[in-house]
Amino acid sequence: MANPSLRLGSVAPDFTAETTKGQINFHEWIGNSWAVLFSHPADFTPVCTTELGQVARLADEFAKRNTKVIGLSVDGLEDHHGWISDINEVNSVDLQFPIIADKDTKVATLYDMLDSKEHDPTNIQASGIPFTVRSVFIIDPKKTIRLTLTYPASCGRNFDEIIRVLDSLQLTDTRRVTTPANWQPGDEVIVHPGVSNEEAATLFPGFKTVKPYLRLAKLQ
């Protein structure tokens, strides 16, 4: 059964855990930043090795957005450190973000990350016991969950999309707009439905009405 506390807009569950960068309290670690928490079935798995390499490669992009990233796997710290060496070698990166050692699956359970072998057609977890699915959570500085994604074990995650969502969330938190399909920074935005035409004329000079419920604008 899904954890109702993980709905968008709810407070992200807090926890204390050991990581490759030492023990952390999750909410304290987030501080005044945004955070991306993303999980993996196990260390030394092929798809996840490419994913962690890509996140390390995007470190500067996350930093520009005041965003911390943290991984999770159910293996121990010794395995994590060995895996990081492989990740760095395979991807030509220097991975610096922490990875949670969740051997008791406490965090995976708290965040409803556990699946079963029946949902793993690639048979990564041959033992058949519940394993940690590949989930993503974006959490804002108020510790509120703003996005959740769960990917199948066979499909690598698109972290450019995570960056895009961060850009959209941070924009729409500060401007009275929403973002259309496939939006990228610099593209037209949608005037928020709660903004009257009179307000829009002031806030978004030159906005255009496509339909009464769809108004587009270029941000100045």
Catalytic residues: 48
Q: How far apart are CA 30 and CA 35, in angstroms?
A: 6
Point out which residues pair with 116 in neighbouring strands.
none
Residue by residue, DSSP assigns the chain as: ---GGGSTTSBPPP-EEEETTEEEEHHHHHTTSEEEEEE-S-TT-HHHHHHHHHHHHTHHHHHHTTEEEEEEESS-HHHHHHHHHHHHHHHT----S-EEE-TT-HHHHHTT-EE-GGG-TT-SSTT-S-EE-EEEEEE-TT-BEEEEEEE-TTS---HHHHHHHHHHHHHHTTSSEE--TT--TTS-EEEPTTS-HHHHHHHSTT-EEEETTEEEE---
